[in-house]
Each structure stands twice: as structure tokens, then as C-alpha cells.
Amino acid sequence: MAGSAPAEETRGGGGETRCRLYLITPPALDPAAFAETLARALDAGDVAALQLRLKDVDDDALRRAIDLLRPVAQSRDVAFLLNDRADLAVQTGCDGAHLGQSDGDHARARKLLGPDRMLGITCHGSRHLAMEAGEIGADYVAFGAFFPTTTKNAEHRAEPDLLQWWTEMFELPSVAIGGITAANCAPLVRAGADFLAVVGAVWNHPEGPAAGVRAMNAAIAAA
Ligand SMILES: Cc1ncc(COP(=O)(O)OP(=O)(O)O)c(N)n1
Ligand SMILES: Cc1nc(C(=O)O)sc1CCOP(=O)(O)O
Ligand SMILES: [Mg+2]
């Protein structure tokens, strides 16, 4: 996802797809301490993108977290996306923003981000929302939750056949999210997900985040 359009990064000339890992930060973190943890995790294996997802923090705290964490990701060619805030993503040099269905006007965010910054849109388990996202120029559509998750109260569910349908119908990359682990991700990879977005599987891995990244990449490769 780093650099040019995700579609070019993930789909080869023959149409084959290489699924990649998309990390989302833990729900709460101390930016200075987390910068070290993040660097070790990103150095452990392939990561396409990192989304900073901090809820209920003010703009000053968000800016501080961005200032400390964005260089850690971007210096490793990992795209740095901001959750919920296209405006702040532009102001702070992020590579893009991820917006949900209640996170404002998607078309306006697309304009604000311009052609060089990515826009990802949550589409739950809905073909209709995904097609709408494609029409307004999203760079990827996110489907979920595929499995139960304790990271947030996920009110919507998605099934792997949605990923398969999307992949067969459209070029636009898909992200699968929600309760994904190394143990359960194979059907999502096989169904055509371009990215697997995870929180707990990496940050709560019993042997630490670097082991979590290695385990996820091994599972993706083996699927
Ligand atoms: C990659 C990705 N997919 C889905 C989400 C969920 O976004 P949203 O529905 O806006 O919920 P919050 O994350 O804002 O709680 C996501 N963040 N990232
Ligand atoms: C942020 C988020 N959005 C979801 C959705 O379904 O839209 S599920 C989710 C949490 C993902 O964390 P974990 O990998 O620990 O389950
Ligand atoms: Mg949101």
C-alpha cells in the first residue's frame, strides 16, 4: 500500500493477488514508548499499512502521536493512515485516512485528500456500501467484522463469500477486518482479501508484536 495505488501494489500482471498485512494501532498507547514497539513490529516482516486509531483524544494528543509514529512507518515504506480524520491527515502529512459510515461526507474527504493520499472506507458486510465507496473514489473498501472481536463493539458481520464476490467483480482492493488471527485468516486470504487488518493478533500476541507480525505473514503465505 505504500507508495503508489494499492491496486498496483497487490495485483500482479496475471491478476493474481498478494494479500498483505494492515496493522491498526492498539486503542490506547503512549506515543513515545509505542514508537519503539512499533519499530520492532514493522522490522519483523512485511506490513503494507499502519492506521493510527485513537478514540477520545484531543487534536493536540493526536498530532503528537502522528509526529512520533508517522516517521517510524513512512521511513520503512509503510503507509501511515489516520482513523476518522481526513482533515488532520492532510495537515500532518499522513498517507491517507480511513473513514467509517458515520465519519462525515466521503466525497468531501476524497476532495480534501486529493489524488495522492489514500481514502479507505468501512463497508461492513454490504455490497451496496462498497459500490458507493468505489463510486466516490475510495482506494480500498473494508469489510467486517469477520470474527468476534474484543477490540471494539463491532455491530456488523461479513462473510468470506463477500470478499470473493468483490474480488471477482471489481479491481478495487478489499480489506478484511475483525477478530482476524493467524489461526483463522486462511479463508479470507483464499477468498481474495487484498489486506488483512488486525489489532489484537499482533499487539496482544503472547510472544510480543514482532512474533505477531511473523505469525500473520506466515499464515498469509500458507493460506
Ligand atoms: C481498515 C479498517 N476497516 C474498518 C475500520 C472501522 O472503521 P469505523 O467503522 O469508522 O470504526 P472505527 O474504527 O472508527 O471505530 C477501520 N478503522 N479500519
Ligand atoms: C477497528 C475495527 N473495525 C471493525 C469493523 O468490523 O469495522 S472490527 C475492528 C477491530 C479490529 O481489531 P481486532 O483485529 O483486534 O479484532
Ligand atoms: Mg471511524
Say whether 164 sits in a helix, a strand or coil.
helix
State the closest ligand 1 atom to the C-alpha of 100, by its place in the atom list counted from 1: 10
pLDDT at 2 (0 to 100):
40
pLDDT at 166 (0 to 100):
98
State the closest ligand 2 atom to the C-alpha of 180, by its place in the atom list counted from 1: 14
Residue nearest to atom 8 of ligand 1 (CA): 100
Whether residue 101 is annotated as binding a ligand: the answer is: no
Interior/surface letters 148-179, b for 16+ CB within 10 angstroms, e for the rest: ebebeebeebbebebbbebbeeeebbbbbbbb
pLDDT at 31 (0 to 100):
98
Fold held by 26-222 = TIM Barrel (3.20.20)
pLDDT at 16 (0 to 100):
57
Taking the C-alpha atoms of residue 172 and residue 118, their distance in angstroms, rounded to an integer, is: 12
- Enumerate the β-bridge partners of residue 83: 98
pLDDT at 150 (0 to 100):
97
**Counts of helices then strands in the chain (DSSP H, E):** 10, 8
Whether residue 67 is annotated as binding a ligand: the answer is: no
Ligand 2 mutation target, pool 152, 185, 202, most atoms within 8 A of CB = 152
Low-confidence ranges of the chain (pLDDT < 70): 1-17
Residue nearest to atom 9 of ligand 2 (CA): 178
